[in-house]
Amino acid sequence: MDLHNLIIETTRRCNMKCDHCLRGPAQDIAMTQEVITPFFRDVDSIDVLTFTGGEPSLPSGVMAMNLILDTIVDKSIMIQSFFIATNGKRWSNAFVKFIYRIYSYCEENDTSGIKISGDQFHSTHRNERNEFQDKLYSTLQYDYDIENLNIWTDNTLMSDNRILYMGNAIDNGIGQQPINTRDFRVGMFEDQIQVRGDVYLSSDGHVINHCDYSYDDIAYDEDALICKVVDFTNENMRRRAK
Ligand code: SF4
């Protein structure tokens, strides 16, 4: 099975409590091997692998990313490029080491990157975040010999119509209704299954058709669910092929 855009929720722990967070309050859940193994059973390639959370730079996120990459390497799954979204609040050598690992494994790093959130909801630690970005650049460059990885802080202000009405945003009375942009679809090329659009793997083992869902939606919205992780097989996806 070939996946176009795979997004993995590494952990639901977070070191921030943003007013607009579409996920909702942090939870004490992180990705485990029990979810990783069945998900990757029939996966052959991934165009873009994104790590998100919660906050992937926390120890539980870094541990999950390493477990995921171990499985990918073990199964020789091809990855074109990777993307990590972080709040840039916490520095750790383990996080940088993981970036080096995934960078070294990907085939096409021109489009790989690390995005640091810098909108008004993440502005409480601007100095730490700037230090994080500078240190990340220099550590990757001088300690790991990586010079061309895209690392940027997204300072775009989130206007009310860009904030999804989900999770903490509902509790705080901000944001607009979510726009339905699900485009998950399955096709065949010769005998190979091609999954297009987003596939989102949650840390509690749900395979979802878009990355923009709250933890409550992931658990209860039937329109969001592709399948439980144990059912993410070639056989089941072939039945959905058009
Ligand atoms: S938006 Fe990101 S950093 Fe902020 S609370 Fe949600 S997961 Fe944490």
Query: Which atom of ligand 1 is nearest to 23's Cα?
Result: 6
pLDDT digit string, tens, across residues 44-95:
999 999 999 999 999 999 999 999 999 999 999 999 999 999 999 999 999 9
Q: Alpha-carbon Rg of the chain, whole angstroms?
A: 18
**Beta carbon of 22 within 6 Å of any ligand 1 atom:** no
CA dihedral 179, 31, 135, 163 (to 10 degrees): 20
Name the pLDDT band for 233 (thresholds 50, 70, 90): very high
**Beta carbon of 17 within 6 Å of any ligand 1 atom:** yes
Please tell me the distance between residue 141's alpha carbon and the centre of ligand 1 in angstroms: 28
**Beta carbon of 217 within 6 Å of any ligand 1 atom:** no
For the cut 90, the answer to whether the pLDDT of residue 123 exceeds it is no
**Beta carbon of 87 within 6 Å of any ligand 1 atom:** yes
Which residues lie below 8 Å from residue 66, measured CB to CB, with a gap of 6+?
Answer: 98, 101
Please tell me the distance between residue 14's alpha carbon and the centre of ligand 1 in angstroms: 6
**Beta carbon of 58 within 6 Å of any ligand 1 atom:** no
Query: How far is 216 from 222, CA to CA, in rounded Å?
Result: 11
For the cut 90, the answer to whether the pLDDT of residue 214 exceeds it is yes
Please tell me the distance between residue 124's alpha carbon and the centre of ligand 1 in angstroms: 12
Provide the residue type at 110 as one letter: D
Neighbours of 168 (CB within 10 A): 20
Neighbours of 115 (CB within 10 A): 16
Q: Are strands 78-86 and 45-52 parallel, antiparallel or unpaired?
A: parallel
**Beta carbon of 112 within 6 Å of any ligand 1 atom:** no
pLDDT digit string, tens, across residues 5-27:
999 999 999 999 999 999 999 99
Residue for token digits 């996806």? 237
Residues of the chain with pLDDT > 70, as a percent, come to 99
**Beta carbon of 14 within 6 Å of any ligand 1 atom:** yes
Of 178, 206, 161, nearest in space to 12 by CA: 206
Q: By the 8 A CB rule, do 14 and 58 touch?
A: yes
Query: Which atom of ligand 1 is nearest to 54's Cα?
Result: 7
For the cut 80, the answer to whether the pLDDT of residue 181 exceeds it is no
**Beta carbon of 146 within 6 Å of any ligand 1 atom:** no
The DSSP result for the chain, as a single string, is: -EEEEEEEE-BS--S---TT-TT-S--S-B--HHHHHHHHTT--EEEEEEEESS-TTSHHHHHHHHHHHHHHHHTT-EEEEEEEEE------HHHHHHHHHHHHH-S-GGG-EEEEE-SGGGGGGHHHHHHHHHHHHHHHHHHH-----EEEEE-----GGGSBSSHHHHHHT-SBPPP-----EEEEETTEEEEEEEEEE-TTSEEES-S---HHHHHH-TTTEEEEGGG-SHHHHHHH--
**Beta carbon of 206 within 6 Å of any ligand 1 atom:** no
Q: Are strands 206-208 and 225-228 parallel, antiparallel or unpaired?
A: antiparallel
**∠ Cα 62 67 73 (to 5°):** 120
